[in-house]
Amino acid sequence: MNVISTIKEMQKKRKDLFIDGKSVGFVPTMGYLHEGHISLIEQAKQENDVVVVSIFVNPLQFGPNEDFDSYPRDLERDEKVAKEHGADFLFYPSVEEMYPQERTTTLTVMNRVDVLCGASRPGHFDGVATVVMKLLQIVGPDRIYFGLKDAQQVAVVDGLVSDFNVPVEIIPCATVRESDGLAKSSRNVYLSEQERAEAPALFESLKTAESMIEDGERNPEPVLGKVKEILSQQTSGEIDYIEILSYPGLKPVAKLENKIIIAIAVKFNKARLIDNLILTV
């Protein structure tokens, strides 16, 4: 596996791969790789000739009171994990490499961002869209892989790729979970012992909602109420949001039909956990 830290070298490697007729699968990450990232790398390996993994903690998507400086980082470990699971290239640029000067152009996401995480994190998805667009220009992949744990991010990137006619296929991949249902996340390390014991209630609430819909419930309100009841009774965290929306449009729904997302976020002492289920009713 080759580790590349400059944009110029990554673009040259991509040009060489294009000349050789190699397909490229791309897994963008912020590092501290866990089983969720590994599943993306392994799927990309199965579906492409070459796999590029990027590690870049993007400052543009962190708010002033968020955890950019304390976000977990361990490049040596990440190199080992990426190599063991089939990555051919690890793109690891510095902030100075990615943003060497004051930007003259800003990407602003206008839809799909006034709900869920976007509602309380203004500008967050502008930062996501900016770094994803830059990475797509640098890596030039045939396919880009995202975990559906952050389904809003997938919806935003879907809109970005469509709006700008970017020649890449988005591959959404199922959320990878612990044995008790908790979605894998780099931020899980911030949970206290008690909070970690409570955290599986997030997925339990979503599965209860799914069962209600499967049993014929088509009114969102009772479903939302049940999810709130479970989270309130079984966790000490503060509920950030509970929403049911169309997907990927992320619009409010009056009736549970077609493709929808049930999404939740809970703030614990040092970690904010998100989870969701996407259903076709």
Known active-site residue 85: no
270 close to 240: Cβ distance less than 8 angstroms: no
Helix (H) or strand (E) holding 143: strand 143-147
Distance CA 263, CA 242 (A): 6
State the CB neighbour count (10 A cutoff) for residue 47: 15
User: How far is C-alpha 164 from the geometric centre of its chain's CA atoms?
Assistant: 20
Tell me: is residue 75 an annotated ligand-binding position.
no
Q: Which of 13, 14, 37, 112 is catalytic?
A: 37
Q: Say if residue 35 carries a ligand binding annotation.
A: yes
Cα-Cα end-to-end distance for the chain: 43
Find out whether 23 is annotated in a ligand binding site: no
149 is annotated as contributing to ligand binding? yes
33 is in an annotated binding site: yes
Residues with Cβ within 8 Å of residue 260, at least 6 apart in sequence: 244, 245, 246, 247, 253, 278, 279, 280, 281
User: Is 34 marked within a binding site?
Assistant: yes
Task: For residue 184, say whether it is annotated as part of any ligand binding site.
Answer: yes
13 annotated among ligand-binding-site residues: no
Active site residues: 37
Which residues line the annotated binding site for (R)-pantoate?
61, 153
Binding site for ATP: residue ranges?
30-37, 147-150, 176, 184-187
Binding residues, by number, are 30-37, 61, 147-150, 153, 176, 184-187
